[in-house]
Amino acid sequence: MALLPIRVVPDPVLRRPCDAVETFDEDLRRLAGNMVETMYAAPGVGLAAPQVGVSRRLAVVDVSVGKESGALHVFVNPRIVSSEGRVSDLEGCLSIPDLSDKVERPERIVVQARNLEGEPFELRAEEWLARAICHEVDHLDGILFVQRLRGLRRQRAERKLKRWIERNEKTSWTPGAAY
Ligand code: NI
């Protein structure tokens, strides 16, 4: 297992829709394992493959950040098939350091995906888990949470993001690494 460098804005891989995973092999399982380790080290509650530079539809989510067994979910080719309600809450992203804002998301969702063996499954999620899954599925479509903001919040976040990109020289960071 290895910690992977996390890509940050304005890396174009973050804006590109990812390709579906078609091969469920050892490479995919290794990538997922490294993504889980990287997510826990960050620490974060979710990580999508494009955030480690791989434009594939793979994401990992654990809203307990490794504290609860059974809380880790691995989604290959996830698709949100239904959603209900709207709820607004604070959200951030490992690829956009120093920026968080209130994003409106569905309260409850049903997601269909495959596991690392290629077997299909369906998961019902609500609250934080639903939010994290929506955020990661957005990553797989090349969408960042800033694009989900509306009106003045959006303008303010875009300004902050622009300033941050201008100031920042790094294109990635590795959890736990010293700079
Ligand atoms: Ni994110």
Reported as a single tens digit per residue, the pLDDT across 48-59 is 999 999 999 999
Give dist(CA 69, CA 67) in Å, integer: 7
* pLDDT given at position 89: 95
Examine residue 152 and state whether it is found in any structural domain, yes or no.
yes
CATH number at residue 23: 3.90.45.10
For the chain, what is the domain count?
1
Who wins on pLDDT, 170 or 157?
157
Q: Is residue 67 part of a domain?
A: yes
Is 68 known to be catalytic?
A: no
pLDDT at residue number 175: 85
Look at residue 27 in the predicted model and tell me its pLDDT.
98
- Give the helix/strand (H/E) hosting 134: helix 127-140
Entry pTM: 0.95
Is residue 55 one of the residues assigned to a domain?
yes
Q: Please give the mean pLDDT across all residues of the chain.
A: 94
Kindly report which listed range (90-94, 123-127, 171-175) carries the lowest average pLDDT score.
Answer: 171-175
The single residue of 37, 107, 119, 136 carrying the catalytic annotation is 136
Question: What's the domain range around 113?
Answer: 6-173
Distance (Å, whole) CA 175 – CA 40:
9
Residue 34 forms part of a structural domain: yes
Q: What separation in Å is there between the alpha carbon of 115 and the centre of ligand 1?
A: 21
CA–CA dist 146, 144 (Å, integer): 5
Residue 61 in tokens:
């989510």
In a domain, 178, yes or no: no
Q: Is the per-residue pLDDT at 21 higher than 80?
A: yes
Tell whether 1 is covered by a domain. no
